A and B are shown apart, each in its own frame.
Chain A
Amino acid sequence: MNVVVCIKQVPGTTEVKINNETNTLVREGVESIINPFDTYAVEEGVRLKERFGGKVTILTMGPPQADVALKDCIEVGADEGILVSDRAFAGSDTLATSYVLSKAIEKIGDYDLVISGKQTMDGDTGQVGPGIAQRLGIPFVAYVSRVDDISDGKMKAERMVDEGHEIVEAPVPCVMSVSKEINVPRLPSLRGKMKAKSAQFTVWSAADLGIEENKVGVAGSPTFVMQIFSPKRERQSEMLEGDSAKQVSALYDKLSEMKVI
């Protein structure tokens, strides 16, 4: 059971705040972290390896320093890491990114399952997983909340849909994205930390993957960010003043006017 887990390094977004005076993002002290949704994907990969044997390969695309994220995955039980890194990839949108990652997965070759988080914390699109599946020509199962079994070339799993849960069966190899409900990621073990310290990672460039340059980076990305701005808000709220009793009675009157009580 060889698993490829795709992860992304993102800024620790909870600390990204807007400076209200200059209307810019405050980036001081913001560290890069593994996209939180991807930590569930890594954990599930490691759990499947523990259940069915095989190995877990972590795959990420990013700048050279993204190898830190790979180290974090080794600490929690992954076996190896591959960093796909090339200046040519800068500015890739989800279409171009899924192309690059699918080429890397083809090069890895020997895999049964590809796992990703359900979306990233910075882009929030959730489009790369299904894009990879399409390019590899294999099925995609979204929002998996439980893997029941993998045997005889088939995976049985539970996925979340808006109205509830579905039990589905998909042939392997396939791509799945996992939801937060699937597991509780483990903390690094001492053994894992030792292993991560000496871990070496494979780095692949565009040329290594035989990638067509016009399909990646800005040239290969049909979407184009035309403008970026801070959401502006002006306070227009009516503040209800006085002591608690007065405030509640004023609020009660408003609710009565609205006929909601």
Chain B
Amino acid sequence: MSIRVIVENCTGCGSCEAVCPFGAIEIVDNVAQIKDNCNLCGACQDACEFEAIVIERPVEENAEEDDSSGVWVFAEQFNGKIKDVVYELLNKGRELADSVNTELCAVCLGHNVEGVEQLGEHGADRIYYFDDPSLAQFQDDIYTQCMVDLIRERKPKMLITGATALGRAFIPRVAAIIETGLTADCTGLDIDPETGFLLQTRPTFGGNIMATIVCRTRRPQMSTVRPHVFKKGMPQAGREAEIIKINLNGQPSDSRVKLLEFIEDVTERIKVEDADIIVSGGRGLGKPESFKVVEELAEVMGAAVGASRAVVDEGWIPYSHQVGQTGKTVCPKLYVACGISGAVQHLAGMQTSDTIIAINEDPNAPIFDVATYGIVGDLFEIVPLLTAKIKESRS
């Protein structure tokens, strides 16, 4: 696979240079030159009006001899309970499985896990359940080995995993053993109607650009998806799935990484990722003390306190409150953004909220692009007024 410039056709107009997301094109002596950091994304080829850029792609391989089948969802559990993200992934997985006419399977590793039998009601056709006391807690090596063995035996077409701390730590190892592609933090999953490939769309460059990624020749096609990116479906009561229990006979019962102690995080009153309402503050607050304004509104609304990356980096509030690409992805019923301009990184973490209220001084702030209701004004006037009005209505 290669890229080249047909010198005779190139006018040196620079439209390719302008669209290259990687800065990998330079116009030298009126001719486009491709630099080493080109990743062959094709943006330049689309932009060129003179057909001066040629990308030679390998012929599509193996779509026919692909003997993989089934869409798999990793059914992560914590303390014997299935995590919420699993239901979101099953809902999406059902849609994907239907469009390629295959079954949807859930893979659960744990011991006496509550809710495994009900995964059928959430869309699974089959459940692979590794039930063993040694799997109750996350064990890096054993989880990896179980998943790899099952993939080798059953050859799934796709495997979708929640981008949780656990998922992000162990799924890349599975991909490295199987030597297949893994796309992190997808915000969109679709099926290419022509090839049947999984189209994995994700924000990159801190959310400034979106990339659609495919894994053409190797199986399974693997993706991770953050919690709250997809919506849960309505469970269908009584819908049953086949349950295949798998014993760990002959498997190592010992992981090299040993868990000695677990310390639950109790510092946050309401966790942002679980909250129905979030009131967030950003750089517009001006100084750390001003967070009080946000906290007071959050308190009267029974909301969690969120923050933009800028103020977390400044040390105004701990990282656990950060919403955005490198913080938490949230999807509350209501998100109130106070003094947040709306950098793409922040928007990537909250734009699927049901209702968004933006309060900002700058009428051109990008946060207004995703807001349901916008107020251009001084947050130090607006927010305390709103807090007072809600308090008043309650007394």
Contact = CB atoms under 8 A, between A and B. Distances in A.
A22 B376 contact: no
Given A127-B175, A228-B212, A238-B372, 17 more contacts: A16-B208, A93-B181, A94-B184, A95-B180, A124-B204, A143-B165, A162-B165, A164-B266, A166-B263, A168-B260, A224-B215, A229-B209, A237-B371, A240-B373, A240-B374, A247-B377, A248-B389
10 contacts: A14-B206, A25-B23, A25-B209, A134-B177, A165-B263, A228-B210, A230-B208, A238-B373, A240-B374, A260-B334
B382 A248 contact: yes
A249 B389 contact: yes
Contacts, number: 272
B200 to A, nearest CB: 8
B289 interface: no
Given A224-B213, A238-B373, A22 B173 contact: no
Given A127-B182, A223-B215, A237-B358, A134 B173 contact: yes
Contacts of A13: 205-206, 208
Contact of B325 (A124, A161, A168, A258): A124
Contacts of A162: 78, 164-166
Given A248-B386, A261-B301, A228 B257 contact: no
B369 interface: yes
B382 to A, nearest CB: 6
Interface string B249-271: 00000001111111111100000
Interface of A: 11, 13-14, 16-18, 22, 24-25, 27, 30, 63, 87, 90-91, 93-95, 98, 119, 121-131, 133-135, 139-143, 156, 160-171, 174, 180-181, 218-219, 221-231, 233-235, 237-240, 244-245, 247-249, 251-252, 254-255, 258, 260-261
Nearest to A63: B36
Which residue of A162, A170, A181 has the most chain B CB atoms within 10 A of its CB atom?
A: A162
B175 A131 contact: yes
Interface string B343-383: 01001000000010110000000101111111111100110
B389 A235 contact: no
Interface residues of B, number: 97
Contact of A91 (B40, B208, B216, B378): B40
A165 B265 contact: yes
Which residue of A91, A223, A247, A249 has the most chain B CB atoms within 10 A of its CB atom?
A: A223
Contacts of A16: 205-206, 208
B48 interface: no
B59 interface: no
A13 B326 CA distance: 13
B140 interface: yes
A261 B390 contact: yes
A128 B182 CA distance: 11
Contact of B257 (A161, A169, A238, A251): A169
A163 B182 contact: no
A29 to B, nearest CB: 12
A33 B134 CA distance: 43
